[in-house]
Structures are given as structure tokens and as C-alpha cells.
A and B are shown apart, each in its own frame.
Chain A
Amino acid sequence: MGHLSIRWLLSELPNLEKDGVIDGAAAARIRAHYGESAAFSSSRLAVAVFAVFGALLIGSGVILLVAHNWEHLGRGTRAAISMTPLLVSQIFVGWVVLKRFGSTAWREGSATLLALAVAAALALVDQTYHTGGDLESFLWRWALLLAPLPWLLNSTAVAMIFLAALTWWAGAAKVEGSEVLWLWPVAAAVVPHVIQVLRSDRRGLRAANLQWAIALFVCVAAGVSLENRVPGLWIVVYVGLFALMITLGAVNRRDEEGLWRRPLEAVGITGSVVLWLILSFDEPWRHIGWQHVRTTESFHEVASWVDVLLAVGLPLAAIAVMALLLDRRRHRFQLLWCLSVPLVAVVWPVVAATDSEWIGAVALNLLLFGVGIATIGTGLKTQSLATVNLGMVVVATLVVVRFFDSGFGFILKGLAFILVGIGFLVTNFVLSRRLRATVVEDR
């Protein structure tokens, strides 16, 4: 059972006992059972977290020592030294596989150490012989050597390091103008590990961490891997991506879970707000679509088709999840935030056909305003202060952005800011008082 559920159950025990649902002995037994198991699992968790951080610090320390460059040691010595951390951590991991594989702390800690030892070995060899080329080639070799480890050693920490190295590589390679088509197939190496984790404990911390890493990776990777032959296709890709994250996150969770356990929704909603704000300007909508296909530069044929595949596939996948897996009443909030998918599906072709970018900008301004207000409404109805504030942040940011954008004078801008600020404070004050009042009534 999840951490939060246990806490809830324990907090309910006094009432249940008072109302005569269970007797004192039963309550004590429940308390002993869950109290102990909760304490035990959180202490185990702490050990695992410390093991990973310890390994991270030691491994990074070794890399920094390597980076100092001990030239006077001579080539032979340095070649020997470069292999030592690698061999030691490999033997350590081998021992863990044989003797301690059941322990998350041992597994994650030793695997993290190995991941960084691989980096240290590659780095020192490159340094000693002045080989290995640019940073991107280093990151690429490192990522490839890490690829089997998350699954093989059942290590989420290494999966996160692997995705980080891969993202960094893709970014560096894209800046250099290289092709990053291999990004997706190589990243797929974490999929077996994802299945592993979701099967064993889909509500656990490891599952949440892994989803955070994947959500952030996908956000960056989608942008980096786009070839942008058809201008403006990224708009459709990202709208679809964030909607898919929000819907998948909603399918996967239960209501009592905190924000850290809802990475897909958190990234999806934050990403949506940022994306919509960008799209509320004219500029992103200028010269988009099939009439402006770029012909002057050379493009990778397969990569251009991946663009189209993502632009069609992601929104369709989001719609499929909405239609098949979400409940229209229970998931009103998520469905509201996916309104961007049908809207952009209509607006994007219209802008592309008519070359009138203002249509796109106006549509997204209306979307931001509408979704912001509706979110405030949902929050008021469900008495959730967080939801109300999310809606207000959306509306307030929209107002602020439009005011910076426009030609209004400073006095008017200043007054608008003050009004938005007062609105925030008053709503929060009134709402929190009302919430407190209902809590008191309930008692």
C-alpha cells in the first residue's frame, strides 16, 4: 500500500474506534502492522537514497580528479589508472549481483558507481592519448556503454544517468549540425527497465523518479530530433505530446498521491502553459505549413518523415487515450487541459492555408483565458486551492504577457499589475477562509 494511503488509514483509526467500527485491540494491531511496515520501508528508502548519492559523489569526485590531468605520471601509469576504477566497480557490481541483488540500496548504489566509473575510464583514456574527439562523441560512447545496465542491474538511478547523457549528447550533436536519428532507438533501451519497475511497484518512488526522467527526456528529445523541414510542425508535435502526458498521467494515478508522484501531469501541464504562452504571440505562427517547406538546406529524408509521424501520431494518441481511458466526469480537469488538441488541429491548417498568423495567436489567447477561468471554476467546485491558483497563474501570466506585448503606457501597465495582484490575494484569502469554515463544519 502507498505511503499516503497508510498515513490516511492510521489517521482514521481513532474515529473508527470511537464509532465502534473496530475495537481497540484491532486498532492496535493495525497500527502495529502498518506503523512498523511504513517506518521500515521509509528507512530502507533512506538507505537507498544515501547509497545512490554517496556513489554519485564518489564517482564525480573520481572524474574531477581525472580532469585535473596528471601529466607527469606518464602514459603507461595513466593507462593503468584509467582502467582501475572501472574494474573495481565492475567486480563490486558482480558481487552485488551474486550476493545482494535483493537490496535496492546495494543495487542502485553499485550500479551508479559503475556508470560514473565508465565515464572516468573513457575520459582518462581520451585525455592520455588526446583522442576521442568532441564532447558529443564522448557522451555518445558513454550512453551506449550504459544502455544495457538499467535493465540488467534493475537500476533506476542508472536509467536517469543514461537518459541525461543521451539528452546531453543529442543537444550537443544538434548544435554541431549532426544527425540525431539514433536518439529514439537508443533511448528505447530503458523500456525493459520501465516495465520492470512498473511491474514491481508502480506507485513507488522509483517509478515516480523514472517517470520524471522520461517526461523531461521526451520534452527535450522531441524538440532536438525534429528536422523542421515543414515549418511550424513542432507546434502540433508539442501540443500532442503535452496532452498525451496529461492524459496518461491521469490514467495511471490515484487521487491521494502528491505532486512528486504525478510527474506526467506536472510536466504536461507546466509544458502546456509555457507552450501556449509562446503560441499566444504572432511570431511562431508566421510562415508555417506546406507552403513554406524548406528547400534551400539539405535535410535527412528519414528524419523528415519522423517529424510527420510525430505530428500525426502524438495528437491521435492523446485523443485515443481521452476517448478510451478517461472518464468524462472524473477527469473533467484533464480533458479541459487537452482542449488544445482539437483547437490546434483546426487552427494549424487554417493558418497554414491562409498565411494569417493572427488566427493562431488569437485562438491561443482565447484558449489560455478559457482554460484558466475554467480551471479556477473547477478548483472552486472541488475546493482545491492548488487548482484555483493554477488557473489564476494562467490568467495572470496571460494578462502580464499581453501587457508587455502591447503599446499601453506605464501607468496603465502598472495599474493592471496591481489589480491582478490584488485579485490573487483576495481570492486566496476568501477561499482559504471558506475552506477552513467547511472543515470546522465537518467536525
Chain B
Amino acid sequence: MMGRRLRLALFTAVALVQIAVAGGAIVRSELALRTGEAFRFHIQPVDPVDAFRGRYVAIRFAIDRAPVADDLELRPKKRVFVPIEIDADGFAILGQADVDPPASGPYLRLRAGGIYPDEEGNRFVWVTMPFRRYYMDEDLAPKAERAVWGGRRGQREASVSVRVRDGIGVIEELYVDDVPIHQWLAENASESR
């Protein structure tokens, strides 16, 4: 039979791991949000619910693939490093993916899907964005979804701002028509009902 001391010591180790996993996520995210570089991505939202974490706006990035060099071979699910570039409208787009992080400039560490050639024969890799959910108050999330899909004049433009540091991106804010979502919902209270 295990002694009390030993059991307590082992349990303390397990407890510390539990704290480290939950707390580590806080530290990583805070670092990225406080010191990371800010980018804006185009998105397409919908509103589902998660049994544990409540309602969220599911985020589908308008860009979900990155170009790759002709000679790069990747197995699916491997990590790739994708530099972030800015397009003419000031929104973020993905640069050429590689297996090593770029020497300079901001980048994201992403999971690769398969590599395919597009219509012009250029090779690209599907990537899965690590930030795919924007959690919201359970009353506001459905309204936010309707705000984006329910406009009379068709779909409104939606985007998220993401802070990026050392390959880790953390969502900062969700925008509808360039207005932060909470502000938009407050201003358009009647329409979003």
C-alpha cells in the first residue's frame, strides 16, 4: 500500500501538470495578445454551441491554403511555418509555407493538410487555422451570427484581428463591417434582434 506522503507527492505532481496546462495557455495567449503583431483576416462566421465552453462564432477563414515551393514534400498533419503578408486592402494573406520558420518577419505555425496543384499548376498546401472559434455571451453569439448573415443587402463583411507572436496567433476581436462586434451589436440593436 502506498504511503500518504508518496501519494500526496504524486498527486501534487499531477496537480501541477493540470495547473501548467491550463495556466500555460493563459501565459501563451497573454504574451501574444500583449506583445504580438496585429493582423486582420477575412472570415465567414456561423454560430454553433459547445457543450463545455458555451456558444461561439465558428470562424472559417477565407484563406485556408498557402503556396509551397515545387520541391517541398510534406506528409499530412506535419507542422508548417507560414509567413504572413499584407494585401492591398490591408488584410493578412499567407505567404509561402516551409518546414522551418522564416528568418525574419511574422509567421504562423500551422498543421498541414495535403499538397495539391491549383488550376495554373502552382502547388499549394491546405492548412488548418488554430483559431477557429470566437466565444461569446450565450445571448450575443446568435445575434452576432445573424449580424453577419442576416443583412438585407446580403452578407456583411466580417473579419478578425489576430495577434501573432513566435508562430502562435490569438484572436483579439471579431469585426462586422470594420466595427468591433460588441459595438456593432449595441449600435444595431433593432436589426440584430
Rounded to whole angstroms, the CA-CA distance of A339 and B150 in the bound complex is: 61
| Residues 57-111 (chain B) with a chain A CB within 8 angstroms | none
B8 within 8 A of A: yes
Report chain B residues within 8 Å CB of A83: 19, 22-23, 26
Q: Given the known A-B contacts A97-B4, A153-B11, are A86 and B137 also in contact in the complex, defined by CB atoms under 8 Å?
A: no
A145 within 8 A of B: yes
A304 within 8 A of B: no
**Contact of B54 (CB < 8 Å), options: A68, A98, A129:** A68
Report chain A residues within 8 Å CB of B135: 69, 126-128, 130
Q: Are B137 and A69 in contact (CB under 8 A)?
A: yes
Q: Are B50 and A135 in contact (CB under 8 A)?
A: yes
Rounded to whole angstroms, the CA-CA distance of A79 and B33 in the bound complex is: 14
B-contact 0/1 string along A133-169, CB 8 Å cutoff: 1110010010001001100110000000000000000
Report chain B residues within 8 Å CB of A122: 21-22, 25, 52
Q: Are B171 and A130 in contact (CB under 8 A)?
A: yes
| Residue in B closest to A65 when the chains form the complex, CB atoms | B54
B191 within 8 A of A: no
Interface of B is mostly: helix
Q: Are B54 and A66 in contact (CB under 8 A)?
A: yes
| Residue in A closest to B26 when the chains form the complex, CB atoms | A79
Which of A66, A121, A132, A153 counts the most chain B CB atoms within 10 A? A132
Q: Are B55 and A135 in contact (CB under 8 A)?
A: no
Report chain A residues within 8 Å CB of B12: 94
Nearest-Cβ distance from residue B34 to partner chain A, whole angstroms: 10
Rounded to whole angstroms, the CA-CA distance of A67 and B133 in the bound complex is: 14
| Residues 23-38 (chain B) with a chain A CB within 8 angstroms | 23, 25-26, 29-30, 33
Rounded to whole angstroms, the CA-CA distance of A82 and B22 in the bound complex is: 9
Report chain B residues within 8 Å CB of A69: 54-55, 135-138, 141
Report chain A residues within 8 Å CB of B140: 71
Report chain B residues within 8 Å CB of A237: none
Q: Are B23 and A127 in contact (CB under 8 A)?
A: no
Report chain B residues within 8 Å CB of A101: 4, 7
Report chain B residues within 8 Å CB of A67: 50-55, 138
Which of B10, B26, B141 counts the most chain A CB atoms within 10 A? B26
Q: Are B17 and A145 in contact (CB under 8 A)?
A: yes
| Residue in A closest to B160 when the chains form the complex, CB atoms | A130
| Residue in A closest to B51 when the chains form the complex, CB atoms | A135
Nearest-Cβ distance from residue B20 to partner chain A, whole angstroms: 10
Nearest-Cβ distance from residue A135 to partner chain B, whole angstroms: 6
Rounded to whole angstroms, the CA-CA distance of A124 and B140 in the bound complex is: 17
B-contact 0/1 string along A86-103, CB 8 Å cutoff: 110010011001100100
Q: Are A129 and B29 in contact (CB under 8 A)?
A: yes
Q: Are A68 and B137 in contact (CB under 8 A)?
A: yes
Q: Are A123 and B52 in contact (CB under 8 A)?
A: yes
B131 within 8 A of A: yes
**Contact of A141 (CB < 8 Å), options: B21, B55, B132, B137:** B21
| Residue in A closest to B131 when the chains form the complex, CB atoms | A130
B15 within 8 A of A: yes
Report chain B residues within 8 Å CB of A153: 11
A344 within 8 A of B: no
| Residue in B closest to A137 when the chains form the complex, CB atoms | B130
Q: Are A131 and B170 in contact (CB under 8 A)?
A: yes
**Contact of A87 (CB < 8 Å), options: B19, B132, B141:** B19
Rounded to whole angstroms, the CA-CA distance of A121 and B22 in the bound complex is: 6
Q: Given the known A-B contacts A87-B19, A152-B14, are A131 and B52 also in contact in the complex, defined by CB atoms under 8 Å?
A: no
Q: Are A68 and B132 in contact (CB under 8 A)?
A: no
Q: Given the known A-B contacts A67-B138, A69-B136, A130-B171, are A94 and B25 also in contact in the complex, defined by CB atoms under 8 Å?
A: no
Rounded to whole angstroms, the CA-CA distance of A101 and B30 in the bound complex is: 38
Rounded to whole angstroms, the CA-CA distance of A47 and B66 in the bound complex is: 59
| Residue in A closest to B15 when the chains form the complex, CB atoms | A90
Q: Given the known A-B contacts A119-B52, A134-B132, are A145 and B18 also in contact in the complex, defined by CB atoms under 8 Å?
A: yes
Q: Are B136 and A79 in contact (CB under 8 A)?
A: no
**Contact of B170 (CB < 8 Å), options: A66, A119, A129, A141:** A129
**Contact of A93 (CB < 8 Å), options: B11, B29, B131, B137:** B11
**Contact of A126 (CB < 8 Å), options: B4, B7, B53, B136:** B53
On A, residues with C-beta under 8 Å from B are 63, 66-71, 75, 79, 82-83, 86-87, 90, 93-94, 97-98, 101, 118-119, 121-135, 138, 141, 145, 148-149, 152-153
* 9 closest residue pairs by CB, A with B: A67-B54, A129-B29, A130-B171, A127-B135, A121-B22, A123-B52, A90-B15, A123-B53, A69-B54
Task: Identify 13 new A-B residue pairs, CB closer than 8 A, beyond the known A69-B135, A126-B25.
Answer: A63-B52, A66-B53, A67-B51, A67-B55, A69-B138, A97-B8, A125-B22, A125-B26, A130-B135, A130-B171, A132-B25, A133-B133, A152-B11
